[in-house]
Amino acid sequence: MDRRHNFITDLEKSDFKVLEDGVPQEIKLFGRETDLPLRIGLLLDTSNSIRPRLQFEQDAAIDFLTSVIRRNKDMAFLMTFDNEPEVVQDYTGDLALLTGAIRKQRAGGGTALHDAIFKAAEKLTNPPQPKTPSQEVRRVMVVISDGDDNLSDHALSEAVEVAIRAEASIYSISTNTDWLATSGDVPRKMHLAPGDKILQKFAEESGGRVFYPYKVEDLAQSFVDIGTELRSQYFIAYSPSNPQPNGRYRRIEVDTLRKGLTIRTRKGYYATAAALAPSPAQ
């Protein structure tokens, strides 16, 4: 994106450079993908800590799906999490089913955020395939939460790892209002709460984004932007100069020679045999 957050769609292979663990890599494949089917895991925090913000969460979730889901092309599932994660609506493209499931939720219990991301990433690993010659889909997780966790069996690092392995980008919407202050009628962000920093980490490591809205209306343009972003990406593939499938995490850096642009990408991958044939940087 440029400094005004406009998407740049005319870059060529020669405009990019890729480094793995600091070592330059030769780009073997390059392309643009502008109309990928989406497979979305929508994670709704229904723990007791967000009880005052539950309606906000429900409105935000419905607005997001309405803005993004395209009939007969995109699919989503709804997972709630409090004491444990639960899929309350499996993959569907039917907005009425998803909306009805969202409106039925009630708040209560603890928060198992890490477990929810772990389980959702596993579900996104093998999503329904599109009825098209190309089987490519974009895997996305949308997490609406305050970011707090007090019950998970899985650590934060485990949840991040499984999301990276699933090639799922995480978009987080914070329900936290701790950082808001009012100057006149205009709220402004004062600082990130601990939960906000957790949501930020999930987004940054997976190539997604995090939003800190004050009210649902603040998200309208953001949802439009996310929809465009999810379907528009460059695809870069390379064969790693280090071919050893040692299972270790390798950090990827992608840069462009064109000045003034910001690139958002997954930060790395785990070097298993499957991932090395070849490894994509998207």
Whether residue 6 lies inside any domain: the answer is no
- pLDDT in tens for each of the 282 residues of the chain? 899 878 888 999 999 999 999 999 999 999 987 788 999 999 999 999 999 999 999 999 999 999 899 999 999 999 999 999 999 999 999 999 999 999 999 999 999 999 999 999 999 999 999 988 878 899 999 999 999 999 999 999 999 999 999 999 999 999 987 765 555 666 666 788 899 999 999 999 999 999 888 888 888 877 877 877 887 789 899 999 999 999 999 999 999 999 999 998 989 999 988 777 654 454
Residues 25 and 62 in one domain: no
Residues 104 and 244 in one domain: no
Residues 161 and 220 in one domain: yes
pLDDT of residue 216: 82
pTM (2 decimals)?
Answer: 0.86
pLDDT of residue 96: 97
| 173 contact partners, CB below 8 Å, separation of at least 6 | 60, 64, 142, 143, 144, 145, 210, 211, 213, 219
Residues 48 and 178 in one domain: yes
Whether residue 99 lies inside any domain: the answer is yes
Domain count of the fold of the chain: 2
pLDDT of residue 35: 80
Residues 218 and 272 in one domain: no
| 20 contact partners, CB below 8 Å, separation of at least 6 | 238, 240, 241, 242, 250, 251, 252, 253, 279
How far is residue 96's CA from residue 100's CA, in Å, rounded to a whole number? Answer: 6
Query: Which amino acid is it at 264?
Result: R
Whether residue 8 lies inside any domain: the answer is no
> Dihedral of CA 273/152/160/92: which sign?
positive
Residue 108 zone, left/alpha/beta (φ > 0; ψ -120 to 50; rest): left
Residues 244 and 120 in one domain: no
How far is residue 166's CA from residue 256's CA, in Å, rounded to a whole number? Answer: 26
Residues 203 and 255 in one domain: no
pLDDT of residue 83: 97
Residues 222 and 111 in one domain: yes
Residues 136 and 153 in one domain: yes
Domain that holds residue 97: 38-231
In the block, which residue shows the tokens 């392309």? 31
pLDDT of residue 184: 61
Residues 92 and 196 in one domain: yes
- For residue 54, the tally of other CB atoms under 10 A from its CB is 18
- Which tokens belong to 60? 């935000």
How far is residue 168's CA from residue 173's CA, in Å, rounded to a whole number? Answer: 16
pLDDT of residue 9: 84
How far is residue 192's CA from residue 198's CA, in Å, rounded to a whole number? Answer: 10
Residues 134 and 186 in one domain: yes
